[in-house]
């Protein structure tokens, strides 16, 4: 019954052709309306920051130690009330030593796009965003990678004095550096569809909260995506050849999440967030994912802020599509924790961040093993160009 309900939501909210037609029609009508609106700001706004850090991946059979230098550029452009552009791009260069066979997506030089999208319409009313969108603005960090994905999103917001309620529908063509292409493969292109609701509420100056709920579906999963997903923890079934495995289950489900920010004391701000994901196509015991996090920001002195973060997660083997899930959690069939600490020095315009993640397998499933990641970074704060 639950599976039928999720499929019904997806059928009526976000089939591929209907989704793209809706976004296209909305874009044209909103763009036409924007032509009659006076310019608000025709200048580009850009800011940048630099980072230098160390990264270390460790597992039972491999180790990678790297020094990384990164530069990040954010750009915003607002033409009028109905048209805007935003982008966030990072170039990272790494050097170091790699032992064993576990690459974890590490390359000497990488370009990461976190956002590059055009917004048509009012953000607090009806808006379409097209381009490369960051899914973490809507979805749990477990479900999808935190990099931008080509696609479109249509959002209708209903703001009031203390809260904003919104509904959304979206379609993506997901990509992942984790997917290894099968030679000579000819097949469909992966697609991701979703729809749901969000609400943000400000209870007082000391407390605000937000929650979200939605349904999702993956389609058109080719052999490369399926084989990579099985290597990262999803349940497999025999493929056409001995060296290829296919997915046993489809990935159609729902997610819910909530975040609460509250002032504990004049110099202490707390944040609690939690997510739950369930794949309706997989059996119980294999189809759920959980994540919980607590952050504490301490104002040590007016110009020094200390942030501590503690996160725990459990991702059952078929809760998420592993090839497109967040690589910070090392795929599916995982449980573990993350501890992080950051010191923001406002006067020096510097931020020092340290973090560690440990992830173990729930069910023994080679080639998966226990993984650990250590991260230490010093970065500047954003400066306008």
Tokens of 127: 């808006």
Biggest alpha carbon distance in the chain?
63
Distance, CA of 325 to CA of 234 (rounded, Å): 11
Distance, CA of 319 to CA of 362 (rounded, Å): 12
Distance, CA of 282 to CA of 349 (rounded, Å): 48
Tokens of 186: 């000819």
- Positions in the chain whose pLDDT score sits under 70: 1-42, 100-108, 176-188
pLDDT reported for residue 244: 83
pLDDT reported for residue 246: 92
CA distance readout (Å), 199 to 37, 157, 162, 166, 193: 29, 9, 11, 6, 20
pLDDT reported for residue 41: 52
pLDDT reported for residue 123: 82
| Residue showing tokens 């959002």 | 155
Distance, CA of 156 to CA of 179 (rounded, Å): 34
Specify whether the CB–CB gap between 306 and 352 falls below 8 A: no
Distance, CA of 199 to CA of 237 (rounded, Å): 40
DSSP label of 229: H
DSSP label of 42: -
pTM, full prediction: 0.85
How many CB atoms are closer than 10 A to CB 323? 29
| Residue showing tokens 């984790």 | 178
Angle at 293 (CA atoms; ends 288, 295), nearest 5 degrees: 170
Minimal CA–CA distance to 341: which of 272, 295, 372?
A: 295
pLDDT reported for residue 245: 87
pLDDT reported for residue 178: 62
Minimal CA–CA distance to 79: which of 128, 28, 38?
A: 38
Distance, CA of 61 to CA of 229 (rounded, Å): 20
Specify whether the CB–CB gap between 111 and 88 falls below 8 A: no
Tokens of 105: 């997506």
Helix (H) or strand (E) holding 43: none
Beta bridge partners of 308: 296, 341
């Amino acid at each position: 019954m639950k599976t039928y309900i999720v499929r019904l939501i997806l059928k009526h909210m976000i089939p591929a052709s209907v989704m793209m037609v809706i976004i296209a029609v909305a874009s044209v009508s909103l763009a036409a309306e924007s032509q009659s609106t006076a310019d608000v700001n025709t200048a580009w706004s850009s800011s940048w920051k630099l980072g230098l850090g160390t990264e270390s991946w460790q597992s039972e059979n491999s180790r990678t130690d790297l020094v990384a230098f990164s530069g990040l550029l954010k750009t915003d452009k607002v033409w009028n009330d109905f048209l805007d552009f935003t982008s966030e791009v990072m170039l990272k260069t790494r050097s170091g030593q790699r032992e064993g066979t576990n690459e974890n997506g590490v390359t000497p030089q990488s370009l990461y796009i976190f956002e590059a999208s055009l917004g048509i319409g009012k953000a607090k009313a009806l808006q379409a965003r097209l381009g490369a969108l960051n899914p973490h603005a809507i979805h749990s960090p477990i479900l999808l990678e935190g990099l931008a994905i080509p696609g479109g999103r249509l959002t209708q917001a209903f703001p009031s004095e203390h809260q904003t309620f919104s509904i959304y529908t979206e379609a993506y063509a997901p990509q992942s550096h984790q997917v290894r292409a099968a030679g000579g493969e000819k097949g469909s292109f992966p697609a991701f569809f979703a729809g749901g609701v969000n609400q943000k509420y400000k209870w007082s100056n000391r407390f605000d909260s937000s929650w979200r709920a939605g349904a999702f579906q993956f389609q058109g999963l080719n052999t490369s995506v399926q084989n990579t997903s099985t290597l990262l923890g999803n349940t497999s079934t025999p493929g056409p050849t001995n060296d290829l495995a296919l997915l046993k289950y489809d990935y159609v489900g729902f997610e819910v999440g909530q975040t609460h920010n509250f002032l504990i004391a004049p110099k202490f701000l707390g944040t609690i967030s939690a997510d739950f994901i369930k794949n309706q196509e997989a059996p119980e015991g294999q189809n759920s994912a959980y994540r919980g996090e607590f952050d504490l920001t301490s104002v040590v002195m007016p110009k020094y802020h200390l942030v501590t973060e503690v996160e725990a997660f459990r991702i059952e083997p078929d809760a998420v599509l592993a090839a497109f899930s967040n690589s910070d959690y090392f795929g599916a069939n995982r449980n573990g924790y993350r501890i992080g600490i950051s010191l923001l020095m406002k006067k020096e315009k510097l931020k020092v961040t340290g973090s560690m993640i440990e992830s173990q397998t729930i069910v023994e499933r080679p080639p998966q093993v226990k993984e650990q990641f250590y991260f230490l970074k010093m970065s500047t704060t954003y400066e306008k160009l």
